[in-house]
Amino acid sequence: MIADKLQNMIGEALKAHDEVRLSTLRLLSSSFNYEFIAKQHKLSDEEEMVVIQKEAKKRKEAIEAYKKAGAMDRAEKEEKELKVLQEFLPPEISEEELIKLVDNAVMTTSAKSIADMGKVIGMVKGKAPGADGAKIAELVKAKLQ
């Protein structure tokens, strides 16, 4: 369980005076606590991964927003936080592998149009749960048009 290790990691970051890592780990711990309160039970490994993925997604969106706004210093800080969060996530699936999964899912489900998009995305997410949903949707949409 990541939440159990998190307190030790916070202590290590505190001793190392690594402020970005410390604030990111504290934020993650807080997110785990909020999720615990919402669910009313100790989080499973899968539920912890969902929380981490949500936090990573927030960072990715913030990076894009800051870059568009020209706030490169804020974007760099968000990128550093994202790197800390990615330590907890499984490695991302390559785009080539994702394209193969999409092609396979389209053939398996006999998808012909955008109306079948949900079935294809569901199948791909089942085989690659850590993959970026937006990227999957983009590939499926391109395939079914």
Express each pLDDT in 70-95 by its tens digit: 999 999 999 999 999 999 988 778 88
Q: Which fold has domain 2-86?
A: Hypothetical Protein Yqey; Chain: A; domain1 (1.10.1510)
**Tokens standing for 59?**
């960072």
Alpha-carbon gap, residue 73 to 122, rounded angstroms: 37
- Residue 64 identity (one-letter amino acid): E
Do domains 2-86 and 95-144 share one topology? The answer is: no
pTM: 0.73
Q: What is the gyration radius of the CA atoms in the chain, in angstroms? A: 18
Express each pLDDT in 96-130 by its tens digit: 888 888 888 888 888 888 888 888 888 888 888 77
**What is 95-144's CATH number?**
1.10.10
Give the position of tokens 């791909």. Answer: 124
Domain boundaries, the chain: 2-86, 95-144
